[in-house]
Amino acid sequence: MRPRGAISLRARLVLQLLALAAGLAVLLFVTVRTVAGDAAEETLDGVLGAATLAIADELRGGDEGVTVDLPHEAFSILGSISEDRIFYRVAVADATITGYADLAAPAAWAGAAGPSSPEFFTAPFRDTEVRVAAMQRVVLAQGRPVTVTVLVAQTRSGQAAIASRVANRAAGIGLGVFALAAALSILTAGSVLRPINRLAEAVSRRGPQDLRSVDHPSPAELRPLVLALNGFIARLRAALMRTETFITEAAHHIRTPLATVRARAEIALRRAETDEARETLRAVIRAVEESARSASQLLDHATVVYRSDRLAREPVDLAPLLERLAQSVAPTAELKDVTLQVAGTGAAVRVTGDALLIEAALRNLLDNAVKYSPPETEVSLDLAAAEGAACVTVADRGRGLSGSKQADLTRRFARGANVGDVVGSGLGLTIVEEVAAAHGGWFDLTEREGGGTCAQFYLPLA
C-alpha cells in the first residue's frame, strides 16, 4: 500500500512529459493535416483555374454568335492530376452554349466581367459534390459585347485521397514524435532523479555509527534537503552526547553512595555484638553488593547500546586486560572458595575496539562464572588467537544451561530456568553478545563436558 499522494517522482515526471509529448504529437498531426489539406486544395484549384482560363481563352465572338473550341489539354491536365469527374458549362446569361446545362454558378456569385482569374466554390451537383471554378469574359458577338460565363467543375476524390494519404503520414509522424518523446522523457526522468538516488545511496551506505554530516555533491535543488539532513544529524549527535554524559553521571551518582553504604555496613559488622545483628548486616552487604552489580550492569548495558553506535577504534591488548580482570575478581572468588586459573596471557593478543566495552563484557562473563560456581571448584580463563580471531574462553563447573538456549539467555532481562536462588538482573549475557556483535565478533555459550558452562567470546584480531 502506497500512502496517499505519494506517487513516485519518476512516474509523475514521465506521465507529465508523456502528456506533453502526446499534446505536441496531436498538434503536429492537426497542423500537418490542415496545411497539407489546404495546399492540396490550392494546387487542385490552381489546375482547375488553369483549365477554366484555357477554355475562356478559346471563346470566340463573330457573326455566328459565341462559340468555343474546347482545348483538349484543359481536360487532359485535369485528368492527369487526379482521376476526378469533370463537368463544364459555357453560357451566355442563362442560355447554355455548350456543356452541362444543369451546372450553375452559386446564386451568391455575382460574376466579374473581364479577363479576371476564376473564383472557386464548393457546391452539390447531381449525385455528388464538386469544386467549381467560375469566370466571365466579354466577347464581341454580332457587334455587341456579350458576357460569357465559363464554369468548370471537378469532383474532389483526388483531394480526399491526398488528404487521407497526408493524414496517414501525419499520423505516422505524430506517433514517431510521441515514441521519441516517450523514450526521451524516460531517459530525462532517469537523469533528473539520478542525484536523488545517489544521495539516498550515499546516506544508506553509511555505517550505523557514522554521524558525520553529509557533504555528497548534490544539485542546488537538493541543497535544502541535504542541509535539513545535516541539521538532523547534528541534533542526533548532540542527543547521543547528552545521553552518554547522563550515563556517566548516573554511574558515578549510584556507585559512590552504594560503596559508602557497603563500607559503613562492613564497619558495623565488625563492631556488631550479637549474631542476629551480624546476620542482618551480612544480608545488607549482600544486597548492596548485588545492587551495585546490577546498577553497574545496567550502566554497562546502556553504555554498550550508546557506545556501539559510535564505537571507539583503538588497539586493545587482551592479555593485560584479562590479567587485570582476574585480579579484580579474585577477592570475590576467594570468598567463595573458587579457584581462578588464567592461561594464555603470556603473549599480547591485539584486537581493535573499545577497551571499556570489551572489559565490561569480559567482566560480566567472569562474574557469571564465579557467581554460578559451587565452592571448591575451578573457573578457567583462557586466551587464545586462531584463524584471525581472538578467543576468550571462560569455563566453570556450575549448574550449566540445563537446556536453555543461548538465544533465550542473551535476551534482555532473561534468565536461566535454574537460577532462582542467585541474585541477577539478566543483563550480563545480553551485554556480552552486544559487545561481540558491535566489534564484528561473536559469542558462543555451550554446556561443558563433565558439568558446567563454557562461554567463548570471539573478536577479530587487529
* Interface with another protein (CB under 8 A): 64-76, 78-80, 83-87, 92, 95-99, 126-128, 142, 157
Question: Minimum Å distance from CB 153 to another protein?
Answer: 11
CB 167: neighbour CB atoms within 10 A?
15
Amino acid identity of residue 360, one-letter, is A
- Map 332-353 to HEC letters: HHHHCCCEEEEECCCCCCEEEE
Which one, 66 or 357, has the nearer CB to another protein? 66
C-alpha separations of 75 from 51, 104, 264 in Å: 7, 19, 133
User: For the chain, what percentages of helix, strand and coil (3-state, to nearest 5) are there?
Assistant: 55, 20, 25
Which one, 59 or 445, has the nearer CB to another protein? 59
Question: Minimum Å distance from CB 64 to another protein?
Answer: 5
Sole residue written with cell 532462582: 420
Dist. CA 413–CA 428, nearest whole Å: 9
Residue 11, Cα to own-chain centre: how many angstroms? 11
Which one, 16 or 76, has the nearer CB to another protein? 76
Which one, 145 or 257, has the nearer CB to another protein? 145
Which one, 64 or 387, has the nearer CB to another protein? 64
Question: Minimum Å distance from CB 96 to another protein?
Answer: 7
Question: Minimum Å distance from CB 148 to another protein?
Answer: 11
Sole residue written with cell 548492596: 288
Point out which residues pair with 459 in neighbouring strands. Answer: 390
Question: Minimum Å distance from CB 50 to another protein?
Answer: 14
Dist. CA 378–CA 394, nearest whole Å: 11
Question: Minimum Å distance from CB 47 to another protein?
Answer: 12
Dist. CA 368–CA 422, nearest whole Å: 10
Residue 84, Cα to own-chain centre: how many angstroms? 62
Which one, 78 or 329, has the nearer CB to another protein? 78
Which one, 92 or 222, has the nearer CB to another protein? 92
Question: Minimum Å distance from CB 132 to another protein?
Answer: 15
* Cell digits of residue 322: 584479562
